[in-house]
Amino acid sequence: MNSALSIQFSPLSSSYSMGFPCTLNLISGRYYSPEEARHRYYKAQRNGTLAQYEQEMPSRALDMQKCIDHVKKHADWGARYLQKNSDSMTRSAQHQRAITQDFINFP
């Protein structure tokens, strides 16, 4: 438990969200919750790969900041993306999205 005190973590984001029809996420597949980070830390500690974990977390933070900047820069696109997909998911029996590409479309 003492090792948990050594984790200095600035939350990157959280994966919590509402259920259907609000299941869309502008930053799909890239968010990393504090719980996931904590689990990954303990796993890395157990496997002796803390150095890799310590490299991965700042990279994830930079990626998340890049995604957030993109959403802020194109808030109107994001709003339309959510509007169009939410509407098509509620109208379709299979809950299909109108726009199949993710909003964040860069590596």
Nearest to 30 by CA among 70, 73, 87: 70
Q: How confident is the model at residue 72, as a pLDDT?
A: 93
Residue 35 within any structural domain of the chain: yes
Would 88 be classed as within a structural domain?
yes
In-domain check, residue 67: yes
24 occurs within a structural domain: no
In the chain, the number of structural domains is: 1
Across the chain, which distance is largest between two alpha carbons, in Å? 51
| Residue 38 included in any domain | yes
pTM, two decimal places:
0.68
* pLDDT per residue rounded down to tens, the chain (107 residues): 455 545 444 544 455 555 665 667 788 878 778 888 899 999 999 999 999 999 999 999 999 899 999 999 999 999 898 888 888 877 777 777 777 888 888 87
Tell me which amino acid residue 27 is: I
Q: Which domain holds residue 82?
A: 31-92
